[in-house]
Amino acid sequence: MSVSDFRDHEIYADLRVTPPVIIRVDGRSFKNLLQRHGFEKPFDRRFASAMAGATELLFQQSGLYPVVAYTFSDEVNILFRDALPFDGRIEKLVSVVPSSISSALTRSLKIAPIAFDGRVIPLHHEQIIEYLVWRQAEAWRNCINGYGHYTLCSDGLSGEDAASRMLGLRASDIHELCFQHGINLGKVPLWQRRGVLVYWEEYTKPGYDPVRDIEVVVNRKRITQNWDLPIFASDEGGVMVRELVGV
């Protein structure tokens, strides 16, 4: 069999997608990993910082140029709005992006190699905000359930029994359970409730024009991590996200 015949077996190699696209990466078996390495429950600031930092490195060093990324727990949602690397080849997108996040996070936490999976979500421009609203709502559900599970375990239940007990509880029940244990879910840190946004921010700085021999103000871009997010579904949050994603 010739080399060209083997290339014909790469049946998904030419599967492509057009922007805008969200690439979502999720950690594999992170619950066991975090327990094994002694991270705080239900949330650990060091881990969240490492996730945001790995996302920022994707902006800085990957050469892929995403517009914005939203992360919570072990999930990162990365928006490519106008152009896609690798001419939109899905095989490349779902391998290079997760591996970039994985290597950066492994290096930051200095633990055994970490794995992420990846998926591609094609969107229309008008769906971008709706998608981010959906994922932020999932971050809030994750926060509620995380604290609920942690609270039940602190009462002496095993992880399995706590998970079974959680199946029968509504969000309001979990709020009350946590409140009875001194935890007001409305007062836990914003990043636990609403996630973290990583994006390019425009700013100005003084400069010098040697041709005209004058001081000038120049426009620059830098990467920002926002840990104090508004609710994306609110008026304030909607305005913020529209400005960032350009829709």
- Please state, in angstroms and as integers, the Cα–Cα distance from residue 136 to each residue in 73, 91, 130, 146, 245, following that order: 11, 27, 10, 15, 16
Does 95 or 206 have the greater pLDDT score? 95
Model pLDDT, residue 12: 78
Q: What is the dihedral of CA 44, 47, 49, 52, to 10 degrees?
A: -130
**93-102, 179-188, 201-210: the lowest-pLDDT one:** 201-210
Confidence of residue 62 (pLDDT cuts 50, 70, 90): confident
Q: Encode pLDDT of 1-33 as tens digits.
A: 555 677 777 777 888 999 999 999 999 878 777
Show the tokens assigned to 58.
């994707």
Contact in structure between 16 and 87 (CB atoms under 8 Å): yes
CATH of region 11-140: 3.30.70.3000
Model pLDDT, residue 28: 86
Contact in structure between 225 and 198 (CB atoms under 8 Å): yes
Q: Encode pLDDT of 133-185 as tens digits.
A: 999 999 999 999 999 999 999 888 888 888 898 888 899 999 999 999 999 99
What angle, rounded to 10 degrees, do the helices at 90-109 and 45-61 form?
A: 130
Contact in structure between 12 and 91 (CB atoms under 8 Å): yes
Contact in structure between 43 and 104 (CB atoms under 8 Å): no
Confidence of residue 231 (pLDDT cuts 50, 70, 90): very high
Model pLDDT, residue 209: 75
Confidence of residue 241 (pLDDT cuts 50, 70, 90): very high
